Amino acid sequence: MEHSTLERAREGDDEAFRELTDPHRRELLVHCYRLLGSLTDAEDLLQETLLAAWRGLAGLQDLAALRSWLYRIATNRCLNARRAAARRGPVEPVPPFQPPAPTRRDEITWLQPYPDALLESFADTSPGPEARYHATEAVELAFVVALQRMPPRQAAALVLRDVLGFSAGEVAGLLDTSPTVVKGILQRARAALDHDRDGDRPRDRRLDRPRRPGPGAPQDRDLSQRFARAFTAGDVDAVVALLTDDAWLSMPPAPHEYQGHTAIAAFLRASFAFRGNRQVLLVPAHANTQPAFGSYIREHATDAATPAGLIVLTARGDRLAAITRFHLDALYPRFGLPASLERAPG
């Protein structure tokens, strides 16, 4: 029956092709997201992957190799996208107020959050024995950012071997190289998780976060609720009290980042002062297996509240190691968030 499906797909049967590829769509989308750091780009590359697979079905000799074959296509499409000279980050937004000087201007500006709903029931939740990272652990923002800072082949080798659990020989085949070369690439990629290759970036302790049960765990839920109360109240001191000493605040697609209590407090004071008396509302969401909120702002008492940035929290123990606020209001529907919040009657 399976081979009959493959033959029908080769003959141009769209339904047969979907029957073959649909079980792998979600895991391929996550794979593209890890390598590209952008949900929008990942969706585009998934479509390119499926189109290339449709056109190249004659080259698939063994149906048992379908998954690896699809990963080969997707990986190479992502590597080409990362290497493309024309690939540029989004235009840097102009803040509506004068922010304080940042700690550094080194954020991955194309970074986007990933909806947890798209992580449910995809195949790489049961990776091979060579995997070093749990599949959901490897979609957390700090890990995805670390992949963006690596050379493309390093990032691909690390994901294929340490997240998906392909053997060294399989990774070599997927990357058109030798197992010996893969070993060297992996050594450098694993080291890059601790230190930047240039040696001028401090170790990102957001990667130190021990594996956690997820955003629904009581500890994370309590921490996110305390953050929501402090943030909506505009209470800078209360927000800062929730942070680790080395916490980061970033706002993609803006490149500037703030580290530590003093720098983050200075930015929040400027931001909250600009907010003034306008009402801020936070609606819980789920992104990158981390606690998240869709933020909304109401200009006047009678107005509907409109999107003001999707906030993802990175917890370490009972404190926040990072606050990432994405100014990507167009993505709200992907996280089950409404386009606006109407004022409650009465």
pLDDT at 320: 97
Model confidence pLDDT, tens digit, residues 276-322: 999 999 999 999 999 999 999 998 877 899 999 999 999 999 999 99
In total, how many domains does the chain have?
2
CATH of the domain at 18: 1.10.1740.10
- The answer to the question of residue 30 being in a domain is yes
Q: Check pLDDT > 90 for residue 203.
A: no
pLDDT at 342: 86
40, 62, 83 — which closes off a domain?
Answer: 83
Q: Check pLDDT > 50 for residue 194.
A: yes
In percent, the amount of the chain with pLDDT more than 90 equals 73
- The answer to the question of residue 244 being in a domain is yes
CATH of the domain at 259: 3.10.450.50
d(CA 102, CA 106): 10
33, 51, 83 — which closes off a domain?
Answer: 83
Model confidence pLDDT, tens digit, residues 121-160: 664 556 666 667 777 779 999 999 999 999 999 999 999 9
d(CA 201, CA 204): 8
Burial class (CB in 10 A: 0-12, 13-18, 19+), 221: middle
Q: Check pLDDT > 90 for residue 247.
A: yes
- The answer to the question of residue 286 being in a domain is yes
- The answer to the question of residue 287 being in a domain is yes
42, 61, 83 — which closes off a domain?
Answer: 83
Question: What pTM, to 2 d.p., does this model score?
Answer: 0.90
pLDDT at 300: 82
- The answer to the question of residue 8 being in a domain is yes
- The answer to the question of residue 129 being in a domain is no
Domain residue limits at 20: 1-83
pLDDT at 197: 34
- The answer to the question of residue 48 being in a domain is yes
165, 31 Cβ separation under 8 angstroms: no
